[in-house]
C-alpha cells in the first residue's frame, strides 16, 4: 500500500478514537492480526504518521505478510527521525531475514548497528543473522558488542555463542554456553533444546572417534 493510496476520511474525533483503539490493541495483544487491521486503517486516515506505519509493518511481519511489512517499514523509515531510524532498520532486517537471504538482511542490521544509540538486542539480532550466513567471526564481534550495551538479555547472547560453537563443531564450549544460559533462566526453552542437540553431536563424535581408534 502506497502512502496516499485508498485514503480513509475521518473527522478528528473518529481519528482519535481509532488511534486510541489501535494503541490499546498493541499494548494488550502486541503485533497481531488485530493491530494490523487497526494500524492499516490509521495510516489510510493519516498517511504522515510514521509511528503508525512502523506499528503496521511490525504487525504485518508478525502475521507473515512480509512483502507488505517491508513496504510499510520502508515508509516508516522515510518518516522516522534519524534518532529512531535504527529501530526501523532492525525490523527491516527481521523481515528480510525471513523473506530473503541473510546477506540481504545484513544490510539492514549493519545500518541499525551503525547508530551509536543502538541497543544490545539489535546487536544480538545481527549476530543471529550472521550465524545463519555462517559469518561466525563477525557474529562473535557483534555478541561482544551486545554485552556492553543496554537492553540486552545475557541468556540470548550465550545462546548465540553456543550456536556459533556448535556450528564450528566445538561441542564442549557450546555446552558450557548453553548451560550458562540456563543458569540465568532454567526455563529458557531454546537453550534446553540446543543443549540436547549439542550433547547428541558430542556423543556421535565420540562414538566415531572410538570406531576409528579401534579400526
**Grid cell digits, residue 132:** 545463519
Domain co-membership, 85 together with 68: no
The average confidence (pLDDT) of the chain is 94
Long-range contacts of 127-130 (CB under 8 A, 24+ apart): 127/160, 128/160, 128/163, 129/93, 129/97, 129/102, 129/105, 130/102, 130/106
- Out of 152, 177, 204, a domain closes at 152
Is the pLDDT reported for residue 5 higher than 90? no
**CB-CB contact of 15 with 38 (8 Å):** no
Q: What is the pTM of this model?
A: 0.88
Indicate the pLDDT class of residue 3, thresholds 50, 70 and 90. Answer: low
pLDDT recorded at residue 1: 61
Residues 41-52 have a mean pLDDT of: 94
Is the pLDDT reported for residue 95 higher than 90? yes
pLDDT recorded at residue 4: 58
Domain co-membership, 57 together with 107: no
**CB-CB contact of 63 with 33 (8 Å):** yes
**Grid cell digits, residue 12:** 478528528
Domain co-membership, 74 together with 10: yes
Is the pLDDT reported for residue 215 higher than 80? no
Strands (E), 31-127: none
Is the pLDDT reported for residue 103 higher than 80? yes
Amino acid at each position: 500500500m502506497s502512502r496516499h493510496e485508498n485514503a480513509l476520511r475521518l473527522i478528528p474525533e473518529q481519528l482519535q478514537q481509532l488511534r486510541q483503539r489501535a494503541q490499546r490493541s498493541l499494548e494488550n495483544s502486541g503485533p497481531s492480526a488485530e493491530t494490523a487491521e487497526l494500524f492499516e486503517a490509521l495510516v489510510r486516515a493519516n498517511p504522515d504518521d510514521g509511528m503508525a506505519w512502523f506499528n503496521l509493518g511490525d504487525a504485518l511481519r508478525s502475521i507473515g505478510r512480509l512483502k507488505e511489512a517491508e513496504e510499510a517499514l520502508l515508509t516508516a523509515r522515510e518518516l522516522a527521525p534519524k534518532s529512531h531510524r535504527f529501530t526501523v532498520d532492525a525490523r527491516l532486517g527481521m523481515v528480510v531475514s525471513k523473506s530473503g537471504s541473510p546477506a540481504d538482511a545484513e544490510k539492514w542490521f549493519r545500518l541499525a548497528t551503525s547508530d551509536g544509540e543502538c541497543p544490545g538486542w539489535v546487536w544480538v539480532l545481527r549476530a543471529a543473522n550472521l550465524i545463519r550466513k555462517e559469518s561466525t567471526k563477525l557474529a562473535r564481534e557483534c555478541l561482544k558488542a551486545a554485552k556492553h550495551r543496554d537492553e540486552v538479555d545475557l541468556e540470548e547472547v550465550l545462546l548465540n555463542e553456543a550456536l556459533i560453537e556448535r556450528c564450528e563443531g566445538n561441542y564442549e564450549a557450546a555446552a558450557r554456553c548453553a548451560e550458562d544460559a540456563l543458569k540465568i533462566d532454567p526455563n529458557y526453552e531454546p537453550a534446553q533444546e540446543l543443549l540436547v542437540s549439542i550433547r547428541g553431536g558430542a556423543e556421535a563424535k565420540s562414538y566415531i572417534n572410538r570406531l576409528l581408534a579401534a579400526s
